[in-house]
Amino acid sequence: METRDVQGRVIALREAITRFSRVETETARRRIPAPVISAIVVNWNGKDYLAACLQALLGQQPPPDELIVVDNHSDDGSREYVSERFPSVRIIDSGSNDGPCRARNLGVAEAKYDLCLLVDNDVVLQTGALRALRAAIDIDARTAMVQARSLCSDEPDRVHYDSADLHFLGTLVLHNWYRKLEEAPWPAGPVGAAIALCVLVRRRPYLDVGGFDQNLFILYEDNQLSYKLRMRGHLVRLAEGALCLHRGGTAGLSVRGSSSASYSGRRTFLHSRNRWYVLLTCMRWRTLLLTLPVQLLYGAVYAGFGHARGHVRDWWAGKLELVRLVPVALRARKLVQRGRTVPDRELLVAAPLTLNPGLAETGGKGLLRRSLDGTFSVWWTCVRRLCG
């Protein structure tokens, strides 16, 4: 009897300790402020995407504290659809389709909270993604932007956009591009750049660097924002455990899989213009001068790529538009360079350039690709220490 009595008391004591621990945990949880996030969805004629995108956001645990759709004056009934189906969502009509850069900036300017989740309309967050993004940005106060890993919606076991590095040519070197998810490691620390389709940003550093530059419209805007943040000592991360599905992409611009048939003239135009705009606004003059020969070499190779696809007029139109934008870029440069603390040699890399799977991997094109990557790498190795 005495033994049973002692055992009973031990069991009762354990249960009391367990109840006390639960109460303490719940009390502590109440003391910690819930994540306070404004989610901003950018939309243009994406009515068919919006239901899945918004439902996934509202289904996060916890959901965003504010949900805004910035609509670039769609004519497909997007605004009416959101108003009817999602009455809690705030709608901002930008008045015109000036691209996602301006729309994101409008959303951040109107958002109530310091943490702003910027999401494209064709992105569907997976369970726990928002919590993982918040955890990643809280790792270090210097972290200004974190990205979710996006998977191909038609092949969800394959990575589409992951994090990236900033190539000294102004392009992005994509991590895990079209790699199987099970073979794609999560980086242990900060990364070189984020892809803009689903990122959580801190409002203050975002505004301090001018946000996304709307002169880019689309394409290269995430290169530039990552560059601007990191040159001021801010960090960029890939949020471990944050997954999203990436659906159709931007009509006429996005390229899927190994096919280059969908590479449009509009993309050639933007590439021809925007790469140099990023270099003029972000790169130190000394760095640009030291890398100018290979910058021109890369530009000539891309011109050949565009011309081979019948995009002669698009490529030249991009260059003419760039000439018009030079004074604009020089004015933007003053804001971008203000407060800079990190030199180019610590920000930029010369890793092999990212191309679509199966493109220029064998034969003469493959040889040309490897030769160019080698040339760029050797050149950067020679001049890197001298760069500003």
pLDDT at 205: 98
Is residue 132 domain-resident? yes
255 inside domain: no
Q: First CA to last CA across the chain, in angstroms?
A: 83
Q: Domain of residue 312: give its range.
A: 265-386
Same domain, 308 and 335: yes
Residue 80 lies in a domain: yes
Q: Are residues 126 and 205 in the same domain?
A: yes
In a domain? residue 259: no
> Across the strands, what pairs with 37?
115
Residue with tokens 């790792």: 139
- 336: exposed, middle or buried (Cβ count in 10 Å: 0-12, 13-18, 19+): buried
Name the residue among 26, 39, 226, 225 with its Cα closest to residue 129: 39
Q: Which of 211, 246, 281 is the last residue of a domain?
A: 246
Query: In terms of domains, do 269 and 187 share one?
Result: no
Are residues 282 and 371 both part of a single domain? yes
In a domain, 251, yes or no: no
Regions of the chain short of the pLDDT cut 70: 1-35, 249-262, 356-362
186 and 286 in a common domain:
no
Q: Check residue 322 and give its pLDDT.
A: 98
CA nearest 283: which of 211, 339, 227? 227
Residue 231 and residue 368 in one domain: no
d(CA 309, CA 265): 8
Residue 235 shares a structural domain with residue 316: no
Q: Which pLDDT belongs to residue 166?
A: 98
Is residue 178 assigned to a domain? yes
Backbone angles phi, psi at 199, to 5 degrees: -135, 145
- Predicted confidence at residue 182, as pLDDT, reads 96
CATH number, domain containing residue 39: 3.90.550.10
**One domain for residues 108 and 152:** yes
Is there a single domain that holds both residue 226 and residue 110?
A: yes
pLDDT of residue 83: 98
pLDDT at 29: 46
User: How far is the CA of 157 from the CAs of 184, 207, 209, 215, 357, in angstroms?
Assistant: 10, 36, 36, 35, 16
Confidence (pLDDT) at 252: 58
Whether residue 42 sits in one domain with residue 15: no
Are residues 280 and 241 located together in one domain of the fold?
Answer: no
Residue 252 lies in a domain: no
Give the pLDDT score at 248: 80
38: which strand partners? Answer: 66, 116
How confident is the model at residue 20, as a pLDDT? 43
Q: Do 196 and 219 belong together in one domain?
A: yes
The number of folded domains in the chain is 3
Residue 3 lies in a domain: yes
Residue-by-residue DSSP string for 328-385? HHHHHHHHHHTT--S-GGGTEE-PPPP--TTSS-SHHHHHHHHHHHHHHHHHHHHHGG
Q: What is the pLDDT of residue 16?
A: 47
